[in-house]
Amino acid sequence: MRKRAKEKRKKGLSVAFCSAVYLFLFLPIFVVVANSFNATTSKPYLSWKGFTFDWYIKLWSNSSLLESFGNTMIIAIASTVLSTVIGTLGAVGIYRYKFKGKGIINGLLYIPVVIPEIVIGIALLTIFSNTGVPRGMLTLILSHVSFCVPYVIFNVRARLSGYDASIEEASMDLGANRVVTFFEITLPVLAPGIAGGALLAFTLSIDDVIISYFVNGQTKTYPLKVMESIKSGVSPDVNALSTLILLGTIGLVVLTQSGLLSGKHNKV
Amino acid sequence: MGTIVEMLGVNKRYGSNHVVKDLNLTVNEGEFLTLLGSSGCGKTTTLRMIAGFEEPTTGTIKVEGTPVEEKEPYERNVNTVFQTYALFPHKTIFDNIAYGLKMKKVPKEEIRERVLEMMEMVQLTGFEKRYPAQLSGGQKQRVAIARALINRPRVLLLDEPLGALDLKLRKQMQLELKRLQKKLNITFIYVTHDQEEALTMSDRIAIMHDGIVDQLDTPTEIYEHPATRFVATFIGETNTYDGCVTSINDGIATITLENGAVKVKCDDSFSILEYATISVRPEKMRFSKEAHEGFELVAIVKDYIYVGSVLKCIVSLPNGNELKIERLAGQELPEIGSRIYPYWEPEDAVLIHNDSYKIFKILDEIKLA
Amino acid sequence: MENFSKLLSVDYLKIYARSMLISLMTTVLCVLIGYPFAYVIARTKSKSRQLLYMLVIIPFWTNSLIRIYGWRSFLGNSGWLVKALQYLHIIQEPVDFLYKTGTTVLGMVYCFVPFMVLPLYTAIEKLDGSLLEASSDLGARPFHTLFEVILPLTSSGIFSGCIMVFIPCLGYFFVSNILGGGNTDMIGNLIERQFKSANNWPLGAALSIILILLTLLLVKLYQKLGGDMENLGV
């Protein structure tokens, strides 16, 4: 009896602790969502003046906010596509071939992951200004690709480590040449890793502040727009857009994850 | 029976690692040939060179008379069953088996017909829509075999295909494979490290050791007339004795061992004063309570081990070496600790040239020079 | 040369010290919160483990600035926390929780705790449950099992989590901007200012070299302690 009571107490304690951590993680998100329904119209939009959907309507007439969101989406999609292609080919190449300097390349991949983002930001800024590349959409996309590629490589490589290379040999043995084998076998089997990498790249790109902050020029992304407005108080339509983005991402992820998880071939 | 696969002077090196050494191997059409050896002996590399996954460093490989070293795996009329099965995890069983035909652009209707027929042959009817992860080990094995066989290859290469199965299933699959091979009349080249498997299934066995084929022969010949000391000890249980040929009379040699002289049947290749090894299987060993003519071995009975219908008698020689003697259970047995005189019929023992003998010869030559 | 003397000025040295202190406090708190948390979710048997794991990632999908701003509106002197405390009669007068070192640390912990939880989760999930049973079978109390078996076997996760928190934390200037209000400047804020307002790029670059050297040093230390680079990254 004593043992069971002890177990119960232990379980209760861990549930309470985890709930507290989740509360900590989600608390500011509740604040953001709640503020998007705040009827206040005076800066800094902090005191609660009642419930309204107005901000969700006003949002559509805030052209600079919408434009910054559009920029973020363009950059996120472009850099996700590019970094996924580069990262996938890179991961497969590193996995398959032995070449001089492989160890160095492997080591260098971790640098962007651990080094403070601000260092990457000013490094890219210096490169762009020294080479005279005009700062804007292009430099933003290039910068996002550069910090997303390692994450895609890690994701695809994690998939590759459980990968039985003999299935490619089997494919060639059964009459498929290298190109057919890549598209019929390699790519579909790596798909979950690639999708995971792409999702991560997309997430990192839409959320990036620090690096974008240095290389943006006149182009405003959505996070930079938020940063700008923080000084004078973030207006609830920004909160409304954030809420919509959160819902959109959750929807997207539920869609892709359920599609991937329901596939019967998850375990190799 | 013509030749289907021929390997001529094939070498394979990985850097300084010489894995396959000057291999010459001829495989006959329709036979079941096994490459048998412990891990690292070069058997899998040999198989992979025939399949086209590895290129020989030097030498020629011919399939149906044409050299294939330059050909890609997908250009060769051989198929492989992989040790890990290598089933495509994202394709159904049907699509896995259909893969080779799809690559050959066989019409859809025909693919369907042939896949279903093949699935029936390997007893997998009804599993078309499943994925590999949903099958048991034995079922995966059958898919791997079906996927290879449906292409009607001239040669099927099997790389330890039963290695991952449990003993009972393995025994069952051995018989099934043998049955399939006879029925389809396809040449099988089979790689395994399991000697029992090799002995049960093969028409011929090539015993590989350190990149070299020690012996290529029928299972009976290999068991009864091992060509090297390695083959004798690798296949089945045996007692070996190293000694020196002291006389040869009418095809019977007297060999002097550390513990006394014994007699063995021998052929012309042996000469007096040569170092040689005798191999005697436990079931061919005899013993008596008095000294047997021509044999000077004396031993003490150490222990008895019952193994079902037979009984193993462990006896030890004065120098500490132990011998195994097999007896049918139920026979009268000397007490443990008593003295016996081991012997054998000279024709039941095999005399093998001793590799170390070559070293003595070389040393002699150096001395003479 | 002028820049280098500035690098070693008292004001700057204070900021370096504060940066290290804030990063260190953040890292320690992340371990203390992250470890038991990761342990519980990684050891959850049922299907809900996947969901619990996803719940750690979901906050990432809201812009990090706006979440930090959420904290500001929650903690500010007319924020919800103050209102709640007043309502409960714990405090009478509004208290400003903002612009203190503790606030910046809270924001940093908030930003980085998932980076601690994820590698720990991976390390703990790999831990073979029978080892814990073996330990208790051999007479170890839970406390001993923790120190003799669990911690040593998951130390790689702790190391990589610490690397993933401590170093990036040094450069996260916007957290101290929003929550510290200029009172808790860190090395990242200094660098940002050289590039964005003071327009002294060479000084900014020199400051960032400090960060690079620190990164290399800590990564080397991490490898010395037996950390595997592959454990880094999400």
pLDDT reported for residue B311: 87
The Cα of A191 is separated from the nearest Cα of chain C by a number of Å equal to 18
Q: What is the pLDDT of residues A33-42, one digit of tens each?
A: 888 887 777 6
Nearest in space to A87 (alpha carbons), one of A159, A153, A15:
A153
Residue A263 has pLDDT above 60, yes or no: no
Both tokens assigned to A246? 């959160």
Distance, in Å, from the CA atom of B304 to the CA atom of B329, rounded to the nearest integer, reads: 10
Cβ pair B76, A169 in contact under 8 A: no
List Cβ neighbours of C71 (8 Å cut-off, separation of 6 or more): A27, A28, A31, C106, C107, C110, C179
The Cα of A119 is separated from the nearest Cα of chain C by a number of Å equal to 6
Distance, in Å, from the CA atom of C90 to the CA atom of C78, rounded to the nearest integer, reads: 15
Instruction: Place B23 in a pLDDT band, splitting at 50, 70 and 90.
Output: very high
Instruction: Place A44 in a pLDDT band, splitting at 50, 70 and 90.
Output: low
pLDDT reported for residue A267: 37
Both tokens assigned to B67? 């050299």
Instruction: Place A265 in a pLDDT band, splitting at 50, 70 and 90.
Output: very low
Based on the structure, what is the number of domains in chain C? Answer: 1
| Identity of the residue in A214, A227, A246 whose CB atom sits nearest the CB atom of C195 | A214
Strands B78-81 and B299-307: unpaired
Flag whether C touches A (3+ CB pairs, 8 A cutoff).
yes
Cβ pair B159, B2 in contact under 8 A: no
Q: Provide, as residue numbers in chain A, all residues whose Cβ is less than 8 Å from the Cβ of B99.
A: 171, 174, 176, 184
Q: Which residue in A19, A30, A31, A124 has the most chain C C-beta atoms within 10 A of its own C-beta, making it the best mutation to test that interface?
A: A31
Q: Provide, as residue numbers in chain B, all residues whose Cβ is less than 8 Å from the Cβ of A182.
A: none
Instruction: Place A235 in a pLDDT band, splitting at 50, 70 and 90.
Output: confident
Distance, in Å, from the CA atom of B133 to the CA atom of B119, rounded to the nearest integer, reads: 17
Q: Which domain holds residue C66?
A: 2-232
What is the average per-residue pLDDT within B293-300?
90
Are B51 and A174 in contact (CB < 8 Å)?
no
Q: What is the pLDDT of residues B147-198, one digit of tens each?
A: 999 998 999 999 999 888 888 888 888 998 999 899 889 999 999 999 889 9
Report the range of poorest mean pLDDT among A260-264, B295-299, B329-333, B342-346.
Answer: A260-264
The Cα of A91 is separated from the nearest Cα of chain C by a number of Å equal to 13
Are A24 and C52 in contact (CB < 8 Å)?
no
Are A226 and C63 in contact (CB < 8 Å)?
yes
Identify the residue with better confidence: B89 or A230.
Answer: B89
pLDDT reported for residue A172: 93
Spatial strand order in the sheet of B322-328? B286-288, B339-343, B299-307, B310-316, B322-328
Both tokens assigned to A16? 């309470």
Instruction: Place B44 in a pLDDT band, splitting at 50, 70 and 90.
Output: very high
pLDDT reported for residue C2: 67
CATH number, domain with residue C102: 1.10.3720.10
Q: Provide, as residue numbers in chain C, all residues whose Cβ is less than 8 Å from the Cβ of A18.
A: 37, 40-41, 52
Residue B37 has pLDDT above 80, yes or no: yes
pLDDT reported for residue B361: 62
Both tokens assigned to B171? 């025994």
Size of interface A-B (CB pairs under 8 A): 80
Are A242 and C66 in contact (CB < 8 Å)?
yes
Distance, in Å, from the CA atom of A155 to the CA atom of A204, rounded to the nearest integer, reads: 14
Q: Partners for A (CB, 8 Å, 3+ pairs)?
A: B, C
List Cβ neighbours of B303 (8 Å cut-off, separation of 6 or more): B313, B314, B336
Distance, in Å, from the CA atom of B224 to the CA atom of B227, rounded to the nearest integer, reads: 10
Place of tokens 């695809």: A156
Spatial strand order in the sheet of B58-63? B17-28, B3-14, B58-63, B66-67
What is the average per-residue pLDDT within B58-84?
90
Distance, in Å, from the CA atom of B70 to the CA atom of B62, rounded to the nearest integer, reads: 11
Asked if B148 reaches chain A (Cβ–Cβ under 8 Å), the answer is: yes
Q: What is the pLDDT of residues A46-67, one digit of tens each?
A: 667 777 777 888 888 888 888 9
Q: Which ipTM score applies to this complex? A: 0.85
Are A166 and B132 in contact (CB < 8 Å)?
no
Tell whether omega for the bond before A44 is within 30 degrees of 0, i.e. cis.
Answer: yes
Indicate the average pLDDT of chain B: 89
Q: Which residue in A7, A104, A111, A119 has the most chain C C-beta atoms within 10 A of its own C-beta, making it the best mutation to test that interface?
A: A119
Are B80 and A173 in contact (CB < 8 Å)?
yes
Cβ pair B323, B316 in contact under 8 A: yes
Q: What is the pLDDT of residues B349-365, one digit of tens each?
A: 999 987 665 556 666 66
Q: Which residue in A169, A174, A177 has the most chain B C-beta atoms within 10 A of its own C-beta, making it the best mutation to test that interface?
A: A174
Return the DSSP state at C177: I
Place of tokens 């089945």: B236
Distance, in Å, from the CA atom of A168 to the CA atom of A173, rounded to the nearest integer, reads: 8
Are B51 and A173 in contact (CB < 8 Å)?
yes
pTM for the structure as a whole:
0.75
CA B235 from chain centre, in angstroms, equals: 8
Q: Provide, as residue numbers in chain A, all residues whose Cβ is less than 8 Å from the Cβ of C79.
A: 46
What is the average per-residue pLDDT within B268-293?
88
Q: How far apart are the first and last CA of chain B?
A: 50
Q: Which residue in A122, A157, A220, A227 has the most chain C C-beta atoms within 10 A of its own C-beta, making it the best mutation to test that interface?
A: A122
Residue A244 has pLDDT above 80, yes or no: yes
pLDDT reported for residue B187: 94
Residue A266 has pLDDT above 70, yes or no: no
Distance, in Å, from the CA atom of A168 to the CA atom of B256, rounded to the nearest integer, reads: 57
Report the range of poorest mean pLDDT among A13-27, A221-235, B25-39, C29-43.
Answer: A221-235
Which residue does chain A place closest to C77, by CA atoms? Answer: A46
Q: CA-based diameter of chain A, in Å?
A: 76
The Cα of A92 is separated from the nearest Cα of chain B by a number of Å equal to 18
Element (H, E) at C213: helix C201-224
What is the average per-residue pLDDT within A226-246?
84
Are C171 and A118 in contact (CB < 8 Å)?
yes
| Residue pLDDT tens, chain C, 234 long | 567 777 778 888 888 888 899 999 999 999 999 999 998 888 887 778 888 888 888 887 788 888 888 888 888 777 778 777 777 877 777 777 778 788 889 999 999 998 889 888 888 888 877 787 787 778 777 778 887 888 888 888 888 888 889 988 888 888 888 888 777 788 888 888 888 887 888 888 888 888 888 888 888 888 887 666 666 655
Are A114 and C68 in contact (CB < 8 Å)?
no
Q: What is the DSSP string of C104-134?
A: HHHHHHHHHHHHHHHHHHHHHHHS-HHHHHH
Q: Provide, as residue numbers in chain A, all residues whose Cβ is less than 8 Å from the Cβ of B87.
A: 167, 170
Indicate the average pLDDT of chain A: 84
Element (H, E) at B189: strand B187-192
Strands B310-316 and B299-307: antiparallel
